[in-house]
Amino acid sequence: MDITKYIDLAIQYGIEYGLRIVGAIAIFVIGKWVAKKLSGIVAKLLERGGVDKTLSDFVVSLVDILLMVVVVLAAVKNLGIDTTSLVAILGAAGLAVGLALQGTLGNIGSGVILILFRPFKIGDFVTAGGESGTVRAITLFNTELLTADNKVILLPNSAIASSSITNYSTMKTRRVDFVFGIGYDDDLKLAKQTLQEIIDADERILKEPASFIGVGELGDSSVNFTVRVWVKAADYWGVHFDTIEKVKLTFDEKGISIPYPQMDVHLQQNKEA
């Protein structure tokens, strides 16, 4: 038995594979450093471009993962391992994970759309996905709303992206609509003048666009005025509630009635012959 032969063979393979291992480690270490630098460059470019931080972090993470996959494949290939089958396995695994997480991936895609097109931003009051509230956070998976009664609602982004969105905070001004009814026997001109005085006295109501007061309907029990005023968005609910209260108190002072639905019932007696 020639031991020298086996020793030479072991040395030969040791040197060959040792160099490959060292090379693979070097590729991994250097590749990881390069990937980190490139990810940093991408992050700075996105920041300079004013891209939303949530989307920026997602893109940087995605770039970092893709670069690390390339680095690992290069290191494995340097060991003499055929990476073709490995890529096929990774592709199949990615497809399986994608199918299993299609709902989550849908939320991520919808989150990217919401961040890119910005139908609303943090602090806006919106109605989306069947819920209303102030936007507290927008992530790649869901959007967080705070309702008026202090409840937190987490809405999947896919539910928001596939439904209509009403943003009450985009415009600086909003129109407040009222309907006030008076009795048929009341003074129509006095009621209209009173409504105009109430509107003119409220400094929160804007002069432009001009307010509107008109008879909108001759109802079953009342003559209904349609009143439309414009206010700053922040004053909407204050003007809404205060105006209703002021109209009731002022109508009472001036003897203008606010009728409620009523029905007159007439009974007829049949007299026996």
Q: Which residue has the tokens 């497809």?
A: 95
Greater model confidence, 202 or 162: 202
Mean pLDDT lowest for which of 127-141, 180-194, 227-241?
Answer: 127-141
The reported pLDDT for the residue numbered 92 is 64
Q: Are residues 135 and 208 in the same domain?
A: no
Q: What is the mean pLDDT of residues 167-172?
A: 89
CA–CA distance, 105 with 103 (Å, rounded to integer): 5
CA–CA distance, 232 with 173 (Å, rounded to integer): 4
pTM, entire model: 0.60
Q: For residues 242 and 249, is the Cβ–Cβ distance under 8 A?
A: no
Strand partners, 135: 145
CA–CA distance, 233 with 227 (Å, rounded to integer): 18
For residue range 179-223, what is the model confidence (pLDDT) as tens digits? 999 999 999 999 999 999 999 999 999 999 999 999 999 988 899
Q: How many domains does the chain have?
A: 3
pLDDT at residue 5 is higher than 70: no
Decide which of 74, 100, 126 is a domain's last residue.
100
Evaluate whether residue 50 is within a structural domain: yes
Greater model confidence, 8 or 269: 269
Give me the chain's average pLDDT, please: 81
Q: For residues 258 and 181, is the Cβ–Cβ distance under 8 A?
A: yes
For residue range 240-265, what is the model confidence (pLDDT) as tens digits? 999 999 999 999 999 999 887 766 66
The reported pLDDT for the residue numbered 14 is 62
The reported pLDDT for the residue numbered 161 is 83
Q: What is the mean pLDDT of residues 67-80?
A: 79
The reported pLDDT for the residue numbered 126 is 92
Q: Are residues 181 and 160 in the same domain?
A: no
Evaluate whether residue 132 is within a structural domain: yes
Evaluate whether residue 271 is within a structural domain: no
Q: Are residues 9 and 88 in the same domain?
A: yes
CA–CA distance, 171 with 211 (Å, rounded to integer): 18
Q: Are residues 124 and 60 in the same domain?
A: no
The boundaries of the domain holding residue 46 are: 3-100
Greater model confidence, 16 or 196: 196
Question: 101 pLDDT band (50/70/90 cuts)?
Answer: very low
Q: What CATH number is attached to the domain comprising 236?
A: 3.30.70.100
pLDDT at residue 239 is higher than 90: yes
Percent of the chain with pLDDT over 70: 75
The reported pLDDT for the residue numbered 138 is 82
